[in-house]
Chains A and B, each alone.
Chain A
């Protein structure tokens, strides 16, 4: 167990390192990017050669690529990284976006797991009947609706046409819990609809597969109540693959994968910050947010692997 954790930590470091290098390289080859693009951005389009040369020197753009990389990583890790577009500290900006992103994602995750599992189980229990067809249809709709379209529609109809909800923005929990909650209802719904559809389909199929397993037949032959067969035998096994998926989904969303939802609703979270920095080809925030997201994905993936070993005794960690 300890060996496993140490190995994972080491591989985490390698992965993050690789991602930082790749992101840096991509930035350097993208048109409008690289040190040329950055110089332009910082000095301004109307600047002259002298200013630009000065900027290059100040920012170390005249150094070889790997030196630039090392300097940027140093600044990132010591939280001194500054954006090229404006003079803000990237680290601070990310910190400011965290409450919104975490509130959105954690809330949505709870909703999508709860309803995904609930609808999946109901669908499976009533397989082939009307309820199943109905829920399947809803799931398909949920999966097919583009998040930004759904968000925009909800904003239009429920905050503009009928002023039922606030038109976006994030209220801090410490300022006003009710407002915090109220502002998050639509974003939560928008973000979770896709996942509810997906998870309910997945769970339905896992439950149906598990139901046809021999050990479920044995459980029934033992005379156990249907409730016990379902919860202790069927679900306990059907949920295991879902947990792996959830860990990765959650990690990705937490690290800034809720970009579209944040942008549509103007939540000023880490995702929105990442989106706008990519739009303006601003390397420091792009690098930092990418690493931020990767960190969570890699961390959650390691946690999921450990959890899997607890949940399924057939898996041994030190293989």
Chain B
């Protein structure tokens, strides 16, 4: 049993009046599956950090109140000590593995508590069977997809036989199929009687697993729903800025204007090494002046497709036509602008303003550039951030800076890779509106995404890659 009594928490680097967790009272019974949700910054991640001890041990701050795990006080215990009973799965698959190969990672935690090697190997085999990890054993972690990494993360936690497992937005980088696999792992854990606590934005896959849904806002718990109550919620959640509980299906809207051909691909192939083909397209039509979603499983070549289209990857003998004119790679790279999944990689300069100016047409004078840049920032609601360092902005703001700089560079085709991963409802809607506005400006937008709700919100057509 986990019991939060009058818990208040404030990070050390939080200089505001408001705490990060405010008056939390919640009792979680053994074997319960609890889903925490709410807007970005509502405190749900902090909630999980208190349970695994990362707050206040690793992320320092002040705690008041009492947090009991099976009657013992959690606060004051080290993370490593808590790690014996509490397993943690994190959001970012890039940064949660200490090892470079999967087997070592599965064994890692057990090795750290000096478990007998024979027992470790026995447990690893057992977990491999249980969580269906056979195809992932003895692989390099760097060659796994996001979904596969998340399965290994779950496996490496399960080897410890933890009583409690906390997951911090585990689905944010996963496609529907990988989410299904994650769901079946959660189902097994629940059946084994483990206590599972998940902080999530996307709720549909948890609907029939969750025992209770905890909604948080500004650090406080605003509502707690039981399973029965959850099923009567649908409308109310949207008003709270929370993603729906129903699995979103794709709604195909017929666009009124009819589809105009824009880009015609007749031959398009790419492989990273000489052996495996990452992308192979014989014929494809991409409509223009629309927001087009590109869907497909992890590993279907969606990101590769975008990178080839905008000329980052060199494709040989490609034949692509733009409005029936040959569209060569060199030209493509000047017409397209790609917004990466991790926007951190594409913001280079010291200020938001410079970020826009650096890509502008060189024929303009400095003052013209500046004026134009400020104009664009105004439209994107970023004018007051013009002097800020891009890295000081929030994730959603960074993304908007990247989109704004594509407009500044005068590119007509914008490519986006998984723009809504880890986004809450509010930011997702904001991005959708942004894209609709860009479409209104005559831009063409191709979005690789797994997020059906987002597609329904703003995309005009959908293309599936296989």
A and B, one complex? no
